[in-house]
Copies of this chain bind each other. A is one copy, B any other.
């Protein structure tokens, strides 16, 4: 598969969400300079990106929003549904379950795992929960292709190894450690706590003197 550059992919993903919001507000058309304004981007960049996805504007009306969204979907070759597993049903895990399964039609967390028997064998935010010992079996049976890791630093690598073993294609890691994985598996990392600590530190808010 011929892959587009990550930055382009990120911009198109952003445009698509901005367009969905505008559509919900009842808008049908948008000019490139308006989309550029909303995306904090230049009109020239937006026009280049939209030319890339093969969408042309209409003189004096701009771009048709539903068409533009569809062209972006085509360009990104979005499949109908991507099945996701989440491992680690703590506060963050629960948060992501309710956040994702309420807003995304395409990306569905269909199974969540934990090692605590108190948290398994239940349904949380519409998602079945299982013991982590059943991970490989459930991931294969349910044709899950992406794993989200929300366990602590000490267990993250072990969980990543289990997901790889179960045949997962990509991982989004919220644990505060980088993971070792085969190069064929795409691996993104988000560290919310470090991000807020960085904001605090670089805003000059850390002032305790010993």
Binding site for B on A (CB under 8 A): 1, 3, 6, 9-10, 13-14, 17-18, 21-22, 25, 38-41, 73-74, 76-80, 82, 84, 91-92, 94-96, 98-100, 102-104, 107, 145-146, 148, 152-154, 157, 169-172, 176-180, 185-188, 190-210
**Beta-carbon contact of B154 and A18 below 8 Å:** yes
Q: How far apart are A123's CB and chain B's nearest CB, in angstroms? A: 17
**Beta-carbon contact of A202 and B77 below 8 Å:** no
Closest to A152 in B: B21
Interface residue from B82, B176, B202 paired with A18 (Cβ < 8 Å): B176
Residues of B contacting A145 in the complex (Cβ-Cβ under 8 angstroms): 200, 203, 205
Closest to A145 in B: B205
**Beta-carbon contact of B200 and A82 below 8 Å:** yes
Closest to A98 in B: B91
CA distance A188 to B190 in the complex (A): 12
